[in-house]
Structure 1
Amino acid sequence: MSRKLELLALDSRMEDSEPDLDDFLKKSFLNLDKIDENIYRSTYLLHPKYTKSVFGGQLIGQALVAAAKTVPESQFAHSLHCYFLQGGSGDRPVVYYVDRTRDGKTYCSRTVKAIQRGKAVLTMQTSFKKEETDPYQHQFKMPKTVGPDNLLNTMDLAKIALESRNLPEKRKTMLGMFLDEPMNVEVRPINPMHLARVKPHAPHRKVWMRACGHIGDDINMHKCAAAYMSDLMLLDVALMPAETGTSFSITSLDHSMWFHNPFHANEWMLYEMESPHCGSGRSLSLGRLWRSDGVLAMSISQEGVIRTVVDSKL
Structure 2
Amino acid sequence: MSEEPGALEDLLDLLDLERIERDIFRGVSRSAVVPRVFGGQVAAQALVAAGRTVPEDRGAHSLHAYFLRPGDPGAPIVYNVDRIRDGRSFTTRRVVAVQHGQPIFHLSASFQLAEEGLEHQARMPDAPDPETLPTAAEMLPRYADRFVDPSVVDRLLVARGAVDLRYVDAPPYGSVGAPREPRSQVWFRTAGKLSDDPLLHVCLATYVSDMTLLDSILLAHGRGGWAVGDVVGASLDHAMWFHRPFRADEWLLYDQESPSSSGGRGLGQARIYTRDGALAISVIQEGLIRTPRD
Report the equivalent of 1:215: 194
SS at match of 1:62: helix
| Distance in 2 of aligned mates of 1:81 and 1:25 | 27
In the alignment, structure 1 residue 255 sits paired with structure 2 residue 238: yes
C-alpha deviations, 1:217-260, integer Å up to 9, x for none?
A: 11111101111011011123211122457711101110000000
Provide the alpha-carbon RMSD of the alignment.
1.9
Report the equivalent of 1:147: 129
Q: Indicate which of 80, 83, 87 corresponds to 1:104.
A: 87
SS at match of 1:120: strand
Aligned-residue sequence identity (percent) comes to 38
| Distance in 2 of aligned mates of 1:91 and 1:171 | 22
Cα distance, 1:215 vs structure 2: 2.4
In the alignment, structure 1 residue 297 sits paired with structure 2 residue 285: no
Report the equivalent of 1:27: 11
Report the equivalent of 1:241: 220
List 4+ stretches of structure 1 deviating above 3 A. Answer: 21-26, 243-246
Are the structure 2 counterparts of residues 168 and 284 from structure 1 closer, same or farther at C-alpha, using a change threshold of 3 Å? closer
Report the equivalent of 1:277: 260
Segments of 5+ residues of structure 1 without an aligned counterpart are 1-20
Report the equivalent of 1:17: none
Cα distance, 1:172 vs structure 2: 2.8
Report the equivalent of 1:37: 22
Q: Pick the structure with greater CA Rg.
A: 1
Are the structure 2 counterparts of residues 156 and 309 from structure 1 closer, same or farther at C-alpha, using a change threshold of 3 Å? same
Are the structure 2 counterparts of residues 206 and 95 from structure 1 closer, same or farther at C-alpha, using a change threshold of 3 Å? same
Report the equivalent of 2:209: 230
Q: How many residues align?
A: 284
TM-score (normalizing by structure 1): 0.85
In the alignment, structure 1 residue 192 sits paired with structure 2 residue 170: yes
Q: Residue 7 of structure 2 contacts residue 161 of structure 2 at CA under 8 Å; is this kept in 1?
A: no
TM-score (normalizing by structure 2): 0.91
Q: Residue 25 of structure 1 contacts residue 215 of structure 1 at CA under 8 Å; is this kept in 2?
A: no
| Distance in 2 of aligned mates of 1:169 and 1:204 | 22
Cα distance, 1:281 vs structure 2: 0.6
Q: Indicate which of 120, 123, 139 corresponds to 1:157.
A: 139
Are the structure 2 counterparts of residues 161 and 235 from structure 1 closer, same or farther at C-alpha, using a change threshold of 3 Å? closer
| Distance in 2 of aligned mates of 1:184 and 1:127 | 27
Q: Residue 265 of structure 2 contacts residue 287 of structure 2 at CA under 8 Å; is this kept in 1?
A: yes
